[in-house]
Amino acid sequence: MKPASIIVFLALLGITAQASGDAIVRGPSEEIAFECSQPRHETMRLRIVNTAGGTITASNDAGASWRLLGSVVTPALKVNPKAYTAGMWAQDSAVAATAVNAIHIKIANNPESGRGIVFSIVPGAKTVGAAVASSSIRTDMPGGTGIFGGYGPLVNSPVHIETGGDLAPLKPDYVPADGDVIQIIRLEAEK
């Protein structure tokens, strides 16, 4: 089947489903929702000091000891209130998406659009527009490695603000500030 034929077929399938009264379901599938609800355990923490020159460290022992991974080049000082549509299905105060070129942190859903409100952590060589740049923590770490490779957090890993050694989830109106200390706790499913 040619790509154009596939597109037409999928469009007709969608029209048929709507005409027959079947609702098009959006959001995570039952299988993904089930997987996300399973018990998980901590395997790693990331600690990011959101200031120029701030450290990016990791801990494999629940924060008892830390090792240096990199540093912040430019801090995030704003949020992106119109994140990608799928961001709305991530948990609040959690990692919404990870890839070789970014880690997106969801704060909450925008009450006006329903889309996630996010800020991001990006590698040093990542080129982004001005609006996205102000809501991104730019690091000196290369894309595809470290936290932008297999060592990064997983989707729905909780994100906290560290204040005086205490951790608290991001509030729905959170906006990153210079000097904020952000901790991400990587949780993996029990085996």
pLDDT in tens, 112-148: 888 899 999 999 865 555 556 789 999 999 989 889 9
* pLDDT value of residue 90: 87
Percent of the chain with pLDDT strictly greater than 90: 52
Write the DSSP string, 93-162: TEEEEEETTEEEEEEEE-TTT-PEEEEEEE-TT----HHHHTTEEEESSPTTSGGGTTTSPPTT-BEEEE
Q: How far is 134 from 88, CA to CA, in rounded Å?
A: 21
Q: 106-121, pLDDT tens digit by residue?
A: 999 998 888 899 999 9
pLDDT at 122: 94
Strands 180-189 and 159-163: antiparallel
In whole angstroms, give the CA distance from residue 62 to residue 43: 8
Given a cut of 70, is residue 17 above it in pLDDT? no
- Nearest in space to 162 (alpha carbons), one of 19, 45, 28: 45
Classified as helix, coil or strand, 182 is strand
55-59 and 94-99 as β-strands: parallel, antiparallel, unpaired? Answer: unpaired
pTM reported for the whole predicted model: 0.78
* SS3 of 40-75: EEEEEEEEEEECCCCEEEEECCCCCCCEEEEEEEEC
**Confidence grade of residue 189 (pLDDT, cut at 50, 70, 90):** confident
Query: Where residue 21 falls among pLDDT bands split at 50, 70, 90?
Result: low
Quote the mean pLDDT of the chain.
82
